[in-house]
């Protein structure tokens, strides 16, 4: 049974805290990205962690040269339990982030920071440029031993292939709910180390708690 990750892409702190508290019984991990951090500040990560006790992953899809990636990772992992980066920028850029995570993990081995790398995105446009190179990116994820990869629930056959290629990495997979991914097919591929990511289908629902409960039960 994969775990449930809430993509909390709301633009208001009050709403973010309210939804994360209401759904926390059913949600295993919370993913925060640019929408919420730009609408508030990076400290929102700590405030949500404090209110819910959940792991918070920052989805910044970091995609820069190694020295800039290093700076972004240092700032982010000071608060977050994990960070999402792009793989297409190459192994040196990803390694720069992994090195920062290792430094944090030396100081606090009980709460290891996670580095999660995007392979192929879940939207239609990802088939133009990302899909043709995604298998190689997944292979790099396995070689580098990143903790996890992002792969699409909108394309279960690709999800299966990328998970197999990336080897030991767990998978976090967006696309179920608003993007129309077929959860039944996704559940044939993912296991207990993996996460199904659901955003709008929970936070835009008139009753986010009920929706989170429904997804948790479906998983």
Q: Which residues in the 177-196 window bind ligand C5P by CB under 6 A?
A: 177-179
Q: Which residues in the 92-131 window bind ligand C5P by CB under 6 A?
A: 118, 121-122
Q: Should residue 33 be labelled a site residue for ligand C5P when binding is judged by CB under 6 A? A: yes
Task: Write the interaction track for ligand C5P spanning residues 144-183; mark x where CB under 6 A is met and - where it is not.
Answer: ------x-----------------------x--xxx----
Q: Binding ligand C5P by CB under 6 A: which of 76, 199, 216, 219? A: 199
- Smallest gap from Cβ 200 to ligand C5P, in A, equals 3
- Smallest gap from Cβ 216 to ligand C5P, in A, equals 15
In the set 18, 49, 51, 61, the catalytic residue is 61
3-state secondary structure the chain: CCEEEEECCCCCHHHHHHHHHHHCCCCCEEEEEHHHHHHCCCCHHHHHHHHHCCEEEEEEEECCCHHHHHHHHHHHHCCCCEEEEECCCCHHHHHHHHHHHHHHHHHCCCCCCEEEEECCCCCCCHHHHCHHHHHHHHHHHHHHCCCEEECCCCCHHHHHHHHHHCCCCEEEEECECCCCECHHHHHCCCCCCCEEEECHHHHCCCCHHHHHHHHHHHC
Catalytic, 61? Answer yes
Number of residues in contact with ligand C5P under rule CB under 6 A? 17
Which residues participate in catalysis according to the annotation? Answer: 61
| List of residues contacting ligand C5P (CB under 6 A) | 7, 9, 33, 59, 118, 121-122, 150, 174, 177-179, 197-201
């Amino acid at each position: 049974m994969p775990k449930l990750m809430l993509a909390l892409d709301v633009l208001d702190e009050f709403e973010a805290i309210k939804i994360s508290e209401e759904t926390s019984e059913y949600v295993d991990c919370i993913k925060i990205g640019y929408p919420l951090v730009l609408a508030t500040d990076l400290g929102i990560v700590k405030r949500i962690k404090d209110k819910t006790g959940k792991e918070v992953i920052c989805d910044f899809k970091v995609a820069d040269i190694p020295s800039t990636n290093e700076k972004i990772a240092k700032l982010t992992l000071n608060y977050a339990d994990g960070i999402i980066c792009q793989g297409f920028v190459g192994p040196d850029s990803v390694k720069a982030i992994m090195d920062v995570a290792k430094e944090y993990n030396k100081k606090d081995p009980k709460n290891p920071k996670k580095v999660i790398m995007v392979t192929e995105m879940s939207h239609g446009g990802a088939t133009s440029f990302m899909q043709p190179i995604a298998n190689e990116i997944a292979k790099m994820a396995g070689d580098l031993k990143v903790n996890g990869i992002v792969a699409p629930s909108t394309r279960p056959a690709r999800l299966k292939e990328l998970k197999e290629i990336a080897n030991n990495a767990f998978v976090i997979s967006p696309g179920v709910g608003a993007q129309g991914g077929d959860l039944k097919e996704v559940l044939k591929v993912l296991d207990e180390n993996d996460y199904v990511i659901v955003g709008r289908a929970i936070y835009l629902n008139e009753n986010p708690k009920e929706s989170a409960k429904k997804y948790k039960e479906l998983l």
